[in-house]
Structure 1
Amino acid sequence: MATIEILGVPHAYELTAPTNYPDTLVFIHGWLNSRGYWQPVISRLSDDFQCLSYDLRGFGESQQKLKTDFSQEQNYFSQSTKSSRAVVDSFDSVYTPAAYTQDLADILKQLNVKSAWLIGHSLGGTIALWGAAHMPECVKGVICINSGGGIYLKEAFEQFRSAGQRFLQVRPKWLGQLPLIDLLFTRASVARPLERNWARQRVIDFVVADPEAALGALLDSTTEEEINCLPQLVAQLKQPIYFLAGAEDKVMEPKYVRHLASFHPLFSYCGDNVIEIPDCGHLAMLEQPDAVATHIRSVVKNQSSVVNC
């Protein structure tokens, strides 16, 4: 495992060999996931493209020290649930999508990646969009997977944030040792059950995620200001922006993906920039890796003709 230190945190990453294609594909995972979820897609693309995947700060192996004692974490959550507004304020400049974009910029700089396509899943898609805005000279395009939104529904988001906090509290260190616990994760948020090895990885990533990063990223990415900013962000981007949606995604429904995509010029100038994948839930890169890899290859290879049409 290779690492790059950013803000005192070692960031774990994997970089495949260079190819003749000039742009590097940079894969950004979603909330409570890790870089390994991209491997099925990267294995299908790495012969043609150099691929970079990494763990976001506080997730996977990008942590100062993986936690084995959850007593402090439970105390942290018992305090934080008293005032979620205070938690949001305390994390404002640390766990926002824009803050994670700065981490990404540092990684690309240290690895000397000067030309890239950003490919982000769920929260990673939001980070990719911010990356395109902040690094227009480097980012040639963005592909968001199971990522969209831009409509703030107050009651729904308050319920989502509250449920997320409660979900994060149920993380005793022995959870991963429970017999058959992974079976619950084979079916969560997907259209059809995942293989057991991916379910076990989901359990691991759920348990080891840093509590402050997990809660901070959840709350900071779902504020009214952040959600309402997304359409403006997409509208100003000059690079080609595409969206892959799971037809059966209940976390980020296709209608919300299409809504955010509609603010980009490609939606009206060159035809629909939303590609819907049948029989697919919220983890497209695991559920339908062949389709995801095929669409990424097509978009990236054909981006010049698409932009100029």
Structure 2
Amino acid sequence: MMATIEILGVPHVYELTYSTSSHLTLVFVHGWLNSRGYWQPVISRLADSFQCLSYDLRGFGQSQCQITTSHIERTNVMVTNDGGMSGNPFNSIYTPAKYACDLKILLEKLNITSAWLVGHSWGGTIALWAAAELTNLVHGVICINAGGGIYLKEAFEEFRSAGQRFLQIRPRWLFQLPLIDLLFARSNVARPLERYWARQRVVDFIVANPEAALGTLLDSTTEDEINHLPQLVSQLKQPVYFLAGANDQVMEPKYVRHLASFHPLFDNCGDNVLEIPDCGNFAMLEQPDAVANHIRYLINQNKLGIRI
């Protein structure tokens, strides 16, 4: 069912499938400029075994309103106790830590007490932050097309400025341009997406809240934020797995392996990294069978006490 719940003054749209015999809920966190719908091909393959929650992150998809700093900063947030970052990661309302705080409130309001988090790209970073905050509730994390943790100054400065230019060309009439969806069908994937998903990418690109789109881009790519990621992963007590697209040009497998290597499950040879052949940066759309099978296998193996 699709429903709306208010979190810190911002309405969040979510979908929650029916309960199953499993006590676990799979919580799916989408990536930058995307929305909850991208998870449907995977959820449709898993909903018979697990209750599945997907939602639109603040400022994206249908979780929209006039977002202001006062909305978000009225709450008392728990800062993780590792003290690893210079400065407070909660100072801005668009850091992954702040979005993890939104997720914490969402799970509390929905009375979800036992979950695995599945995050795509930027959503993977949010899932890692949430796992650090919710050690008793979150039993494991699966990051999809997510990695990094190496700050390369020139590369990130170029990425940030390119992202800002990209965000400046978002007129509503863009969707009316002939064949615009074909451009989005071929962007960052190994093989072209179905036109339905290409159109959805155009819609999500256009409707994203301008402040949220820019704020999340800038706050997720600071030197502090990037350098803190390996420390965050190394301190997580839960199992953490990474699904990489073999042909991913955005988050190349070597960068996925780099971040994964800081978790104990990496075990010197990458035991917590699974590479999906013929797959780019949208694994859940390009290879939904493989993604769903990996998720089911990893959770079931951990349920049996076997760490992969």
TM-score normalised according to structure 2 size: 0.90
1:35 matched to which residue of 2?
36
- Secondary structure (helix, strand or coil) at the match of 1:234 reads helix
Give the 3 Å change call, closer, same or farther, for CA 65–183 of structure 1 in structure 2: farther
Shift of 1:7: 1.6
Provide the C-alpha distance between the structure 2 equivalents of 1:177 and 1:11, rounded to a whole number of angstroms: 28
1:74-126 per-residue CA deviation (whole Å, 9 max, x = no partner) reads xxxxxxxxxxxxxxx9x942000000001000100000000100000000000
Is it true that 1:17 corresponds to 2:8 in the alignment? Answer: no
Provide the C-alpha distance between the structure 2 equivalents of 1:217 and 1:147, rounded to a whole number of angstroms: 16
1:183 matched to which residue of 2?
182
Is it true that 1:235 corresponds to 2:220 in the alignment? Answer: no
Q: Is the 8 A contact 1:92 1:220 kept in 2?
A: no
Give the 3 Å change call, closer, same or farther, for CA 5–290 of structure 1 in structure 2: same
Query: What is the correspondence of 1:120-135 to structure 2 with a 5 Å cutoff?
Result: 120-135=119-134
1:149-173 per-residue CA deviation (whole Å, 9 max, x = no partner) reads 0000000000000000000000011
One-letter amino acid of the counterpart of residue 63, structure 2 = S
2:73 matched to which residue of 1?
none
1:287 matched to which residue of 2?
286
One-letter amino acid of the counterpart of residue 295, structure 2 = I
Q: Is the 8 A contact 1:240 1:307 kept in 2?
A: no
1:64 matched to which residue of 2?
65
Provide the C-alpha distance between the structure 2 equivalents of 1:271 and 1:213, rounded to a whole number of angstroms: 34
Structure with greater helix share of residues: 1
Gaps of 5+ in 2: 68-87
1:173-205 per-residue CA deviation (whole Å, 9 max, x = no partner) reads 100111111010000000000000000000000
Gaps of 5+ in 1: 67-88
| Backbone CA RMSD of aligned residues | 1.7
Is it true that 1:255 corresponds to 2:240 in the alignment? Answer: no
- Deviation larger for 297-306 or 24-33: 297-306
Q: Is the 8 A contact 2:260 2:270 kept in 1?
A: no
Provide the C-alpha distance between the structure 2 equivalents of 1:64 and 1:241, rounded to a whole number of angstroms: 33
One-letter amino acid of the counterpart of residue 205, structure 1 = D
User: Percent sequence identity over matched residues?
Assistant: 74
One-letter amino acid of the counterpart of residue 117, structure 2 = L
- Secondary structure (helix, strand or coil) at the match of 1:41 reads helix
Provide the C-alpha distance between the structure 2 equivalents of 1:308 and 1:160, rounded to a whole number of angstroms: 36
Runs of 4+ in 1 over 3 A off after TM superposition: 304-309
Provide the C-alpha distance between the structure 2 equivalents of 1:269 and 1:6, rounded to a whole number of angstroms: 41
1:102 matched to which residue of 2?
101
Give the 3 Å change call, closer, same or farther, for CA 270–298 of structure 1 in structure 2: farther
2:111 matched to which residue of 1?
112
Report the count of equivalent residues: 286
